[in-house]
A and B are shown apart, each in its own frame.
Chain A
Amino acid sequence: MILHEQAIKKNVDLSDEFLLNKNYKKAIWKFYVSYNIALNINQDIPLLAKKKNRLWKKVLMSKEGITSKKYSKLQALINQDIGVIAKALKVLYEKSESFLDQFGDIYTEGTIGVLAYESPYVE
């Protein structure tokens, strides 16, 4: 749960960083790494996987770089896949909530009170 959340967030952050530096190919790759992890968390069957594979391979393997104009066209396709990542983060959040239900809240009121045994006003 925590590990997957960290993996998705880290890869999305790196993708955004590449995007800001106009390194579009690496941004797309990092985005699809987090997409793949999210897809497996959701246990979804990827839609049009073969078609998408063919398209992104063509984009990433091309000898010409991706210009910002070309990327803006590809952005629409990437935006369709963001939903999968959002869904995975939601699934992970629900899982972590159920995890607390099984083991109970470790930060109960009593545990916080334990630290207050020493009064600051007593010399």
Chain B
Amino acid sequence: MDKYIKVISPHMKQAILRTLGLAHSTYLGNDLYFYLRAVQMLISDLDENFIADELKKEGKDWIKIKRELKKNERIILKAKSYYDMIEDKTFSKEKKEEENKSQFLKLASQIKIIDNPIFFMYVFLTEKTNLQSQTIPSEAFKILEHTGFRKLEMIKKPEKTGGESSGTETQIPSS
């Protein structure tokens, strides 16, 4: 083979593939956060000098890309903190959580939709590693549709017909 491919350790590979599974399958639209996490994991696993050398071969500047990634990271992390606080993810016309919504939209508007450096680095780094020939396990595709865990309700068990009632309570997840 004419190009050098870096081998990523199995544990790191598993963690990155799981993060990518979340990024590909999230329903909430915060997939950029998971892509960024996968890119950061790849950067920390590969040597920065190696990345800089490989980018130089393609005529790109690592310092410039790094600066752009940092800027995106700052915006995405800030935007996600506002996004997590919004309960109504449908962004309906109801005047609820106006401040959080406006802050989130203000931050999200600063992120490039096309030609984003996160996607460039994601494709570039995976092509330089043995990740390119891997498949994301199906259990990693978790569909993140709701805001969090379902609330647990305390529901009493129906009384027994024999006369003795059991006072025990069970936790049944609400539908």
Query: Interface on A for B, CB 8 Å cutoff?
Result: 1-4, 6-7, 10-11, 14, 26, 29, 32-33, 35-37, 39-41, 46, 49, 52-53, 56-57, 60-61, 63, 99, 102
Task: Give min CB distance, B56 to chain A, whole Å.
Answer: 16
Query: Interface on B for A, CB 8 Å cutoff?
Result: 1, 20, 24-25, 27, 29, 31, 91, 93, 105, 108-109, 112-116, 119-120, 122-124, 126, 131-136, 141
Q: Which residues of chain A come closer than 8 Å to B108, judged between CB atoms?
A: 61
The main secondary structure of chain A at its interface with chain B is: helix
Cα distance A46–B119 in the bound complex, in angstroms:
13
- Asked if A10 and B132 sit within 8 Å, CB to CB, the answer is no
- Asked if B123 and A6 sit within 8 Å, CB to CB, the answer is no
Partner pick for A2 among B20, B116, B119, B135, CB 8 A cutoff: B135
- Asked if A37 and B109 sit within 8 Å, CB to CB, the answer is no
Partner pick for B132 among A2, A11, A14, CB 8 A cutoff: A2
Cα distance A95–B145 in the bound complex, in angstroms:
35
Task: Give min CB distance, B136 to chain A, whole Å.
Answer: 6
Considering the complex, give the chain A residue whose CB is closest to the CB of B124: A40
- Asked if B114 and A56 sit within 8 Å, CB to CB, the answer is yes
Task: Give min CB distance, A18 to chain B, whole Å.
Answer: 8
- Asked if A32 and B136 sit within 8 Å, CB to CB, the answer is no
Given contacts A3-B135, A6-B135, A49-B115, 11 further A-B contacts (CB under 8 A): A1-B133, A2-B135, A4-B126, A14-B25, A14-B27, A32-B114, A36-B119, A40-B122, A60-B113, A61-B108, A63-B93
Partner pick for A57 among B1, B113, B120, CB 8 A cutoff: B113
In this complex, the member of A53, A99, A102 whose beta carbon has the largest number of chain B beta carbons within 10 angstroms is A53
- Asked if B1 and A102 sit within 8 Å, CB to CB, the answer is yes
Cα distance A32–B172 in the bound complex, in angstroms:
40
Considering the complex, give the chain B residue whose CB is closest to the CB of A33: B31
Q: Which residues of chain B come closer than 8 Å to A53, judged between CB atoms?
A: 112-115
